[in-house]
Structure 1
């Protein structure tokens, strides 16, 4: 077993089944060289902002289709307002929406429905970049 640092992943969606699908697809350890993942779930945009403001989040996976606040708007808001923001990944239902995800300043996108083969690799890449950096460089 690797001595990789544990990571905290925030999963945001107004729909509990979407949050469950993300947790299931990514799993507790998305790659052998990435530490174990602990999940924090948020059902509202304000919960996301409050949780990120509290610190300790390494990655946010944000549902672009969430209501009333979509994940792309939250991604853009977190980028503008949080100096040491976590890595951001947006779930998109339509591939043509990738340009909107780019506008949102997200670090990555995942298609929804979530692919259990792709999702762990994307999450592991984001966590390697985020958790591997010293705190002063995040």
Structure 2
């Protein structure tokens, strides 16, 4: 589990994937902040489903980003679990394996879906929209 070392006052995002390269792709695509002169995003990266549930239980998040293609515990099942178990669950963004999986992601109760291959503009737009309270 890694986290930014200082609290920035920016949005807090919980990012789950068992693949470190996927986590890096998401952070690179979104960027360090949502727009120029905005506070930096405070990321917490986790690699296991247990860490997601623990972090969601212990702390408040502005957004949760889940890898729908993660091994053992995919993001779609985790999204549904969080939506059903966390009081005032934050918005959840699920990364799917392909655009055709959006129908399955709707079962997960995700607030937004971004398919692979990850498009930086689509991903950044989805994150910004969810953080602004918009439905993407």
Q: Work out which of the residue numbers 20, 32, 53 in structure 2 matches 1:28.
A: 32
Listed as ranges, the matches of 1:1-138 within 5 Å are: 6-32=10-36, 35-129=39-133
Name the counterpart of 1:134: none
How many corresponding residue pairs? 126
Could you tell me whether the CA contact under 8 Å between 1:34 and 1:124 is conserved in 2? no
Could you tell me whether the CA contact under 8 Å between 2:80 and 2:108 is conserved in 1? yes
Gaps of at least 5 residues in structure 1 are 131-138
d(CA) in 1 for partners of 2:127, 2:15: 12
| RMSD of aligned Cα (Å) | 1.6
Deviation at 1:113, TM superposition (A): 2.3
Normalised TM-score (structure 1) = 0.85
Could you tell me whether the CA contact under 8 Å between 1:57 and 1:86 is conserved in 2? yes
Gaps of at least 5 residues in structure 2 are 1-8
Normalised TM-score (structure 2) = 0.87
d(CA) in 2 for partners of 1:34, 1:75: 28
Could you tell me whether the CA contact under 8 Å between 1:29 and 1:35 is conserved in 2? yes
Q: Which runs of 4+ in 1 moved over 6 A?
A: none
